[in-house]
Amino acid sequence: MITFPKRKIIIIGGSIGGLFSAIFLRRKGFDVEVFERADGLSDRGAGIATQKSLHDVLAKAEVVRPDGTGVEIDGRIMFASNGNVLGTHDMDQIMTSWGLVHRSLLERIPSDCYHNSKSMVSLEQDAENVYATFEDGTTVEGDFLIGADGTWSSTRQCVNSEAKVDYCGYFIWRGLIDEMLIPRDVFGQVSRRLTFGMAPGGHWLGYLVAGSDDDLTVGRRRFNWAWYRPGTEEFLRELLTDEKGVYHQYGIPHGLVQKKYRNAMREEAKRRLAPQLQEIIMATETPFLQPIYEYMSERMLFGRVALVGDAAFTARPHVAVGVSKAAEDALALSEALSCSEPNVGLRKFERDRTELGRAIAKWGQDLGSYCGTPAKDEATQKKALYYQRPEVLLSVTAATDPSAYYLDERKI
Ligand SMILES: Cc1cc2nc3c(=O)[nH]c(=O)nc-3n(C[C@H](O)[C@H](O)[C@H](O)COP(=O)(O)OP(=O)(O)OC[C@H]3O[C@@H](n4cnc5c(N)ncnc54)[C@H](O)[C@@H]3O)c2cc1C
């Protein structure tokens, strides 16, 4: 039986899931403390495609930005490798950035509730309390603990040491550049669109996002691009190793990717991608990379501990709902913890959100079925052929209402 005599909730991870949890729980009258491992999360540079569900949950959190939450686009376009248009698709959408969403949430949390440079290393729980211990040797006590600590969650590791994150067999090259660096004729073709290019092993995509300091002024925004490339685990290990031979398992810092790999990517782009997209890549001084991982939990609740966001389910990014999923997990958990029968509420939270998280992660597998080295089994090959068709890819990747797809069993 879980009770909350102190009404004190510990939140591990100060990114999207952690901050939404803090906002919703404070509103329910809980005393929350957020502990974030990094010493500052000012800008991770990631572009975020949004959906209606994200705007709905931002409104519920009363996060309203008078200047808007991102750059408005009105459709999608795909270029063949010779630069011809392979397809277009109308879809109004707002493209935002991780930094803008994060800062908007952080503004709503009192600074004494949010602690940087606090890395949780272990946790324990008994019948009444949960205790989190940090790298600096300090321990904090609460009624309940939320693990919002992402794909490589330490919380999850403490409650389920057998959990294993899977590498999907592909990674992305990424770039983020000032919009003014893109030649004007190319800019005119991509500025109001989510732009795609198709290449064997994975597609390229790019769109405008806010500039530094969340600036949405025309001329001060940035262009965010990503190119999915296949890579074995052995090759990934090489890519994540810097010039000095140091291996960065959880992600290589942007400036440390070896020059020979950046140059090889540029050469490959010349062979495989449309001239317009090559221009954007060539204008990017320091492309960086990110491996694609996935994880699906069997459970989200472990006594006085719950997992939310990517810690519970990391979906491949093609679905592009990780932010709203983390936010909705947080909302559902806050409602469960504050209802008249929390034990019943928590069981419902786990049942509903596990089912949804799994559906989203599986949808990510479908959308990414043609990325990486070609599949050997017939079912995946069939999916791969279907999801790389321009008209399909343009309408379903990072769609504004993805639930229409991931909740539909008849996807193909
Ligand atoms: C390339 C790419 C593109 C994406 N595009 C989109 C998109 O277009 N739309 C979308 O909705 N989503 C997108 N996503 C997914 C989205 O970024 C994630 O789903 C979202 O950030 C998950 O939030 P989270 O809070 O659960 O985890 P995270 O954002 O991963 O945050 C976890 C936090 O926990 C902290 N932490 C970890 N361990 C500890 C510890 N031991 N102690 C304390 N703190 C700790 C970390 O430092 C981090 O700040 C994309 C993801 C990728 C990789």
CATH number of the domain at 361, please: 3.50.50.60
Distance between CA atoms of residues 302 and 354, nearest Å: 13
pTM: predicted TM-score of the whole model, two decimal places:
0.95
247 three-state secondary structure? strand
Residues in Cβ contact with 377 at an 8 Å cutoff, skipping those fewer than 6 apart: none
Q: In the predicted model, what is the mean pLDDT of residues 228-236?
A: 97
Tens of pLDDT, residue by residue over 370-386, are 999 888 899 999 999 99
Task: Report which ligand 1 atom has the smallest distance to the Cα of 95.
Answer: 8
- Residue 376's pLDDT is 87
* 397 is a domain residue: no
Q: In the predicted model, what is the mean pLDDT of residues 198-222?
A: 93
Give the other-Cβ count within 10 Å of 359's Cβ. Answer: 20
The one-letter code for the residue type at 112 is D
Distance between CA atoms of residues 227 and 281, nearest Å: 10
Residues 211 and 79 reside in one and the same domain = yes
| The domain boundary residue, chosen from 226, 259, 292 | 292
Count of H-run helices and E-run strands, the chain: 13, 18
Residues 36 and 47 reside in one and the same domain = yes
Residues 255 and 173 reside in one and the same domain = yes
* 314 is a domain residue: yes
Residues 274 and 298 reside in one and the same domain = no
Q: What is the dihedral of CA 330, 336, 338, 339, to 10 degrees?
A: 150
Tens of pLDDT, residue by residue over 167-183, are 999 999 999 999 999 99
Question: Mean of the per-residue pLDDT values for the chain?
Answer: 93
Which of 24, 37, 114 gets mutated to test ligand 1 (max ligand atoms within 8 A of its CB)? 37
| The domain boundary residue, chosen from 254, 273, 292 | 292
Distance between CA atoms of residues 125 and 116, nearest Å: 23
* 31 is a domain residue: yes
Residues 228 and 254 reside in one and the same domain = yes
- Residue 41's pLDDT is 63
At residue 159 the predicted structure's pLDDT band, cuts being 50, 70 and 90, is very high
Residues 205 and 225 reside in one and the same domain = yes
Tens of pLDDT, residue by residue over 281-304, are 999 999 999 999 999 999 999 999
- Residue 284's pLDDT is 96
Q: Which residues line ligand 1 (CB under 6 A)?
A: 12-18, 35-38, 41, 46, 48-49, 98, 119-120, 148-150, 154, 172, 226, 290, 309-311, 317, 320-324, 326, 398
Residues 15 and 151 reside in one and the same domain = yes
Is the pLDDT score of 42 beyond 80? no
CA 16 – ligand 1 centroid, Å: 7
* 213 is a domain residue: yes
- Residue 410's pLDDT is 53
Is the pLDDT score of 164 beyond 70? yes
Range of the domain at 123: 8-60+101-165+294-375
At residue 33 the predicted structure's pLDDT band, cuts being 50, 70 and 90, is very high
Residues 320 and 269 reside in one and the same domain = no
- Residue 4's pLDDT is 84
Tens of pLDDT, residue by residue over 300-336, are 999 999 999 999 999 999 999 999 999 999 999 999 9
* 382 is a domain residue: no
Residues 202 and 134 reside in one and the same domain = no
Residues 50 and 124 reside in one and the same domain = yes
Residues 271 and 128 reside in one and the same domain = no
Nearest residue to 119 (alpha-carbon basis) of 19, 32, 35:
35
Reduce the secondary structure of 274-285 to three states and give it as a string: CHHHHHHHHCCC
| The domain boundary residue, chosen from 230, 263, 292 | 292
How many folded domains does the chain comprise? 2
Q: How many residues does the chain have?
A: 412
Distance between CA atoms of residues 192 and 213, nearest Å: 21
Q: What is the CATH number of the domain that holds 264?
A: 3.30.9.60
Q: Quick check: 306 and 328 in contact, CB under 8 A? A: no
